[in-house]
Structure 1
Amino acid sequence: MVQNYKLLCVDLDGTLLTDSKEISQETLEAIRAAKAKDVKVAIATGRALFSALSVGSSFNNDDDHIIASNGAIIKHLALEPLVRENPFSYDQLVRIIDTASEQGLSPVFFSTEQAYTTSTSDFQMYLGFGSGTNNVFNKQSISLIPSTKDLKELIRQEHIKIQKCNIHTLGDGQKRFLHNALKREGEFEMLFSTNPALEITAKGVTKGNGVAVLAEALGIRQQEVIAVGDSENDISMLSYAGLGIAMENAIPAVKNVASYITESNNNNGIARVIRKFIL
């Protein structure tokens, strides 16, 4: 019996987007064809919500969802409130800041609307993320804070909800220290991105859990879900989905859990998935 898939969840960077941070016309047309068959399409990304929304608008369809910050945020493109929001507690943020400071590192924190950092180099890096109209960071969406003390005070006084943290410029020793120190707390999900950066969310917050929550909210069964990705943060959603698919450019660990490997992000891999399994 041919499985009738009802939800397609796709990663952004290295999956839906080409290396030039664009969605190909062929892929856009395939997505529209999938929607014409009443298949729901969701972006599932490690990016913060404000960054992911800039891509979601390309779909030209209000009946879509975004899973942002590795599962901490789930949002219907056209509706409020959020389907789910799972931020850190203030005490958790302080522990992350203090632990990173021991290694001379400054975390980058993400809310639904903005990023915050005390690192000048990270501030400049995010301002240069992408190019031209594809650069979703600007001086309104990322704030350079003078000190960690000021950062703590800003978050506390303004009651800012932070859903995800990235810690950049990690050496091997720093990676081990941070991972082991925060793991002892038992309050965090941690994984390494290809940047390289340590990505941190609250315990239980993963893309896989986000996809599961969205599927349940939509009344879609696990076996009716396709998930496609290329990086470590995609493993949980590929493992959850009825059909987990890796990009040709995916890291080996992602390919190991996938049931199928499609073309690369630069060769319309998502369009191929849609044509093979949905249309």
Structure 2
Amino acid sequence: MEKNTIFVTDLDGTFVKDSRKVTPQDRKSLLKLKAEMPIAIATGRSVKEIRFIENQIQLACDIRIGFNGGIIEVKGERIFEQPIDSQTLRAVLEWIQQHQIVFDALDGEQRIGTHKSDDAAKLWNMELVEPLHLFDLLTEKKIFKINIRPDSGQADELLTELQGRFPQLAICKSGEKRIEITPLNITKGHALELLKKKYDLEFISAGDSENDVSMFKESSQSFCMAHAAQPVKEEATTIIENFYEVADLIA
């Protein structure tokens, strides 16, 4: 891949603002950007879910970054993957079981755990299952990310406890209803850093959550949604109300 400026966007809350469906105006904006430069998607979700959105908008992106950087694909070729190591996975699952925490673990094909959802439109064709012998089953799987689902108002407290207990992991909030756990140094920013070194790329990015801050730091220009938390907005170069504004604001 020759040197290029790549536009990379988060999905939930950004390009898919309601986490259900891309608006026609936002789709049109991304098509305009695609005509000018390669496009990347970076999300805490799986590559399978990235493809779901690609099918929805009938546009294939050039780079897919799933699980906050746990998997990276370039032109459909997987160039990097890093699941949670088995020993650490067992320790986290034991903590979850002891504290009866609602969670889901992602292997790339399913959401496996105790989390339930009545909003099928937010699952993006990703089956949510709670099998028998749940914790035994998970220790045998390749797990890239665990979502902790805190009760209302408990996210910050749980985040602090998890970060103190598991310093060998990357742990951050994605809104007030989800804490994301990935291997240490696996972040969207790390993914962009790896791509910069391998392909000599530059990035312009858009996002809305704490897990996008590392991506902003690796970008020459960054856009943050106005509904984001103030500390997240402070890390971006430009604040926008709607995704479709990006196409007219890129320097």
**If the TM-score is normalised by the length of the shorter chain, which range does it land in?**
0.7 to 0.9
The CA RMSD over aligned residues, in Å, is: 2.6
Structure 1 pair 93–107 and aligned structure 2 pair: CA distance change class (3 A): farther
Q: Give the one of 254, 258, 271 matched to 2:232.
A: 254
Q: What does 1:80-229 correspond to in 2, within 5 Å?
A: 80=77, 82-117=78-113, 119=114, 122=115, 124-125=116-117, 128-131=118-121, 135-137=123-125, 141-146=127-132, 150-157=133-140, 160-170=141-151, 176=157, 179-180=160-161, 183-220=164-201, 224-229=202-207
Which residue of structure 2 aligns with residue 35 of structure 1? 34
Quote the Cα distance in structure 1 between the aligned partners of 2:227 and 2:111: 28
Equivalence for 1:272: 245
Say if 1:129 and 1:137, in contact at 8 Å, map to a contact too. Answer: no
Alpha-carbon distance change, 236 to 7 in structure 1, aligned in 2, over 3 angstroms = same
- The 1:176–1:52 alpha-carbon spacing in structure 2 relative to 1, beyond 3 Å, is same
- Residue 66 of structure 1 aligns with which residue? 64
Find the aligned partners of 2:194 and 2:119 in 1 and give their Cα distance: 30
Deviations 1:210-239 (A, max 9, x none): 12223444431xxx3111111111111112
2:215 to 214, 237, 247: 237
Go from structure 1 to structure 2 and tell me whether the alpha carbon gap of 1:89 and 1:59 turns closer, same or farther (over 3 Å shift): same
Amino acid at match of 1:83: I
Q: Does 1:18 align with 2:20?
A: no
Aligned residues: 249
SS, match of residue 105 in structure 2: strand
Deviation for aligned residue 1:272: 1.5
| 2:250 aligned partner, one-letter code | F
Give the stretch that moved more between structures: 175-184 or 11-20. Answer: 175-184
Q: Which amino acid aligns with 1:22?
A: K
Judge which range, 18-27 or 167-176, deviates more.
Answer: 167-176
Amino acid at match of 1:24: T
CA distance in 1 between partners of 2:233 and 2:130 (Å): 38
- Matched position secondary structure for 1:196: coil
Report the CA distance between 1:74 and its aligned residue.
1.4
Name the amino acid aligned to 1:143. V
Q: Give the distance between the partners of 2:14 and 2:159, measured in 1 at CA.
A: 28
Instruction: Tell me the SS of whatever aligns to 2:234.
Output: helix
- What secondary structure sits across from 1:7 in the alignment? strand
2:65 is the alignment partner of 1:79: no
Say whether residues 1:53 and 2:51 are aligned partners: yes
1:57-102: per-residue Cα shift (whole Å, max 9, x none)?
A: 34534452221111111124x623x121110111111111111222
Asked if the contact 2:22/2:57 (under 8 Å) is kept, the reply is no
Give the TM-score of the pair, scaled to structure 2: 0.87
The answer to which of 91-100 and 162-171 deviates more is: 162-171
5+ residue gaps, structure 2: none
Query: Do the aligned partners of 1:255 and 1:261 also contact (CA within 8 Å) in 2?
Result: yes
Larger radius of gyration between Structure 1 and Structure 2: 1
1:172–1:225: structure 2 CA closer, same or farther, 3 Å change rule?
A: same
Structure 2 residue identity aligned to 1:235: V
Call closer, same or farther: CA 1:5–1:15 in 2, change over 3 Å: farther
